[in-house]
């Protein structure tokens, strides 16, 4: 059978191991071919091909539920659930999403783009099943990296207290998240991986005891014999494997995650276990592609690359350094001269660029694992003792630590510097990763300063500003991808005055207020308007909190027409801050806000998303002309 013939995962039922192995090879070939062409996550999906096939061969997915954690490990799942023929559209506009989406396919039982959610969601489904008196299996698949997230441990703690609720947790243990895992849980799992497999000791012992004379009644064991059975089980199980059992789960494993026979046999037996059961599956990230197996960090995700050599397909023209690289270089340079600076990441060292700090100054670098809440409160503790903690984290992931920002940092006015990577439109990763909400969710918190650079050179100055600011929390947001190509200084960066913007262009017809990445768009818009006889004043706001009202309000009152430009949600964003300031000061100026409306921005190339949202300079110019300068000829969008 060819994978292209599979439109329903139940078609795996009854196939021989040889046929299943052939399908596994076909999945890997399609996976590699697609990601090499489009870019995307590579290593995670390659590592779970056999796990996915083996599990689905033991389930009836017309009824049973499978919940995948994160989602980028679910590419084989997508191919086995009717999306093989469309898989070449992966992460492209109107194509297959890079993560799980309930609206995309009925077999995507739970949407996931962030880690550590699958056990909680699976337990919720299992409890709903039991409440309705239904009978179907629930399986949550989670990686060992995601197991470092507190939410996953909270769910395990809860499930372990429900001995009558059937739930299977499959631990996909490849010793990695994006980068190598850190912490005590990682060390524990490494020990377990080296232990002899433990499988179903409880049931085997109980069956043996029932057939011994004088013990039990043939059906049930006496309390004394139950205690003896548990003691014997502990003797048979290595110490490291007993921890899971102490949490209330039946532990099975570790088993070979690339041996289909062993996987199928183990899953079939595990489905019969009453209560929560954890099946520990040892896999190899990047399995089947030698380059990805060797470099599991580098091949976690890739831009389009040459499949034969593994090398990226070169760009048509050189690009400026990314904001992440500029951030990392600047912070590392500052940290070399200031031992109080500590960079903190939540398992995103390579993504944020903090791997550079780790390499150069390992004693000033901390990776907490996938534990954003802990990262923020850890930073608060460091700040209490006079350190200068820099929490480098994606905008979308900082959402997970919102209470800690308020309760542990801002209420106590602690000087923690939040550096929000991937703020704004991120492209192919879609709604779970778009950094749309940080302006809105941080702006309402007292004792918080919020800034955004117009380019990578200004970013260097903002990093110095953030390090030197000690009156409370301060946050800097910056976009994904390359800078705009301005010259960079190697040192001697001057800090900015808190809450002060700058005028970049003078004009009397309209005031364009740009924030962060949209300052360049504001300047482009001013150029287009000038071609139609409209002269704009352009302000680089720099700060949304505190807003430079001393600069903005007199200009708004004088000019009378104001447009705000931001790469984030309009509700509660930069434009809202300007509207509030105008209202408070009773400045009666016309106002148009350009940003992301109250919608979820789906996966696409960033320029496609900007065009769909009407956020390109020609589109903004046309809207301004048609609304306020109708007598002028309209601009034709290019």
Query: Do residues 289 and 176 lie in contact, with contact meaning Cβ atoms separated by under 8 Å?
Result: no
**Rg of the chain in Å (alpha carbons):** 28
Phi, psi values for residue 230, rounded to 5°: -65, -40
- In angstroms, what CA-CA distances link 101 with 59, 70, 211? 21, 11, 50
The neighbour count for residue 443, using CB atoms within 10 Å, is: 19
Query: Do residues 50 and 324 lie in contact, with contact meaning Cβ atoms separated by under 8 Å?
Result: no
340 labelled catalytic: no
Token duo for residue 15: 């196939």
Pick the catalytic residue from 245, 372, 456, 566.
372
229 labelled catalytic: no
In this structure, are strands 40-41 and 301-302 parallel, antiparallel, or unpaired? antiparallel
Distance from chain centroid for Cα 499? 30
Annotated binding site for thiamine diphosphate: 72, 113-115, 145-146, 174, 289, 372
Residue 331's closest CA among 295, 358, 370? 358
132 labelled catalytic: no
* Burial letters 342-378, b for 16+ CB under 10 A, else e: bbbbbbbbbbbbbbbbbeebeebbbbbbbbbbbbbbb
Separation of first and last alpha carbons in the chain: 48
Sheet with 65-68, side-by-side order of all strands: 65-68, 138-143, 167-173, 276-282, 250-256
Q: Which residues pair with 198 in a beta bridge?
A: 253
Token duo for residue 487: 């010259």
Annotated binding site for Mg(2+): 144, 174
Q: Which residues pair with 388 in a beta bridge?
A: 341
Token duo for residue 502: 């700058």
The dihedral over CA atoms of 226, 228, 233, 238, expressed in degrees to the nearest 10, equals: 140
User: Which of helix, strand or coil describes residue 305?
Assistant: strand
Token duo for residue 123: 């337990």
Pick the catalytic residue from 78, 91, 129, 285.
285
Residues 6+ apart with CB under 8 A from 474: 415, 416, 417, 418, 448, 449, 450, 451, 465, 466
The neighbour count for residue 233, using CB atoms within 10 Å, is: 17
Task: In whole angstroms, give the CA distance from residue 367 to residue 422.
Answer: 19
Token duo for residue 598: 């109250």
Pick the catalytic residue from 30, 137, 400, 542.
400
Task: In whole angstroms, give the CA distance from residue 88 to residue 96.
Answer: 8
DSSP 180: B
Instruction: Print the SS3 string covering 597-613.
Output: CCCCCCCCCHHHHHHHC
Catalytic residue annotation: 285, 372, 400
């Amino acid at each position: 059978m060819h994978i292209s013939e599979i439109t329903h995962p139940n078609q795996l039922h009854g196939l021989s191991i040889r046929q299943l192995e052939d399908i596994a090879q076909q999945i890997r070939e399609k996976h590699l071919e697609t990601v090499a062409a489009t870019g995307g996550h590579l290593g995670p999906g390659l590592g779970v091909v056999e796990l996915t096939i083996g599990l689905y061969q033991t389930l009836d997915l017309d009824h049973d539920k499978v919940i995948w954690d994160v989602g980028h490990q679910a590419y084989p799942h997508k191919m086995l659930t009717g999306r093989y023929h469309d898989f070449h559209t992966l992460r492209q506009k109107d194509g297959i999403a890079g993560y799980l989406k309930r609206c995309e396919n009925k077999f995507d039982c739970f949407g996931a783009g962030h880690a550590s959610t699958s056990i909680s969601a699976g337990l919720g489904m299992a409890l709903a099943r039991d409440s309705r008196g239904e009978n179907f299996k629930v399986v949550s698949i989670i990686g060992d990296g995601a197991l470092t997230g507190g939410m996953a441990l909270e769910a395990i703690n809860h499930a372990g207290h429900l001995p009558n609720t059937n739930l299977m947790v499959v631990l996909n243990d490849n010793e990695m998240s994006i980068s190598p895992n850190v912490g005590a849980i990682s060390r524990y799992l490494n020990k377990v991986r080296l232990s002899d497999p433990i499988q179903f000791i409880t049931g085997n012992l109980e069956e043996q005891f029932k057939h011994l004379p004088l013990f039990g009644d043939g059906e049930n064991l006496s309390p004394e014999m139950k205690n003896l059975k548990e003691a014997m089980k502990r003797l048979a199980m290595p110490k490291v494997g007993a921890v899971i059992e102490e949490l209330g789960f039946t532990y099975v494993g570790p088993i070979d995650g690339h041996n289909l026979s062993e996987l199928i046999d183990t899953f079939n037996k595990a489905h019969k276990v009453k209560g929560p059961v954890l099946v520990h599956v040892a896999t190899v990230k990047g399995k089947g592609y030698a380059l990805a197996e060797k470099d599991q960090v580098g091949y976690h995700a890739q831009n389009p690359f040459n499949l034969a050599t593994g090398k990226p397909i070169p760009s048509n023209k050189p690009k400026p350094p990314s904001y992440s690289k500029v951030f990392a270089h600047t912070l590392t340079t500052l940290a070399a001269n200031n031992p109080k600076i500590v960079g903190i990441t939540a398992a995103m060292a390579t993504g944020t660029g903090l791997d550079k700090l780790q390499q150069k100054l390992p004693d000033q670098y901390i990776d907490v694992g996938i534990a954003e809440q802990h990262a923020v409160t850890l930073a608060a503790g460091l700040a209490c003792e006079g350190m200068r903690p820099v929490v480098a984290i994606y905008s979308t992931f900082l959402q997970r630590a919102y209470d800690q920002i308020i309760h542990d940092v801002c209420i106590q006015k602690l000087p923690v510097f939040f550096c929000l990577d991937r703020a704004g439109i991120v492209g192919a990763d879609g709604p779970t990763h778009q950094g749309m909400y940080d302006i809105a969710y941080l702006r309402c918190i007292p004792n918080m300063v919020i800034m955004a650079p117009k380019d990578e050179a200004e970013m260097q100055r903002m990093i110095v500003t953030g390090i030197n600011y000690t009156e409370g929390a301060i946050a800097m947001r910056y976009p994904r991808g390359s800078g705009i190509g301005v010259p960079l200084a190697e040192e001697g960066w001057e800090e900015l005055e808190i809450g002060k913007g700058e005028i970049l262009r003078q004009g009397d017809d309209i005031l364009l207020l740009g924030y962060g990445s949209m300052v360049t768009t504001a300047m482009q818009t001013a150029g287009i308007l000038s071609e139609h006889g409209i002269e704009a004043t352009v302000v680089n706001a720099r700060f949304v909190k505190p807003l430079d009202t001393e600069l903005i309000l007199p200009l708004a009152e004088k000019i009378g027409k104001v447009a705000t430009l931001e790469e984030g949600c309009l509700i509660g964003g930069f434009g809202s801050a300007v509207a509030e300031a105008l209202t408070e000061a009773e400045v009666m100026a016309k106002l148009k806000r350009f940003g992301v409306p109250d919608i979820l921005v789906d996966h696409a190339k960033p320029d496609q998303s900007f065009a769909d949202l009407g956020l390109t300079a020609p589109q903004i110019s046309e809207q301004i002309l048609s609304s306020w300068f109708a007598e002028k000829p309209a601009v034709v969008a290019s």
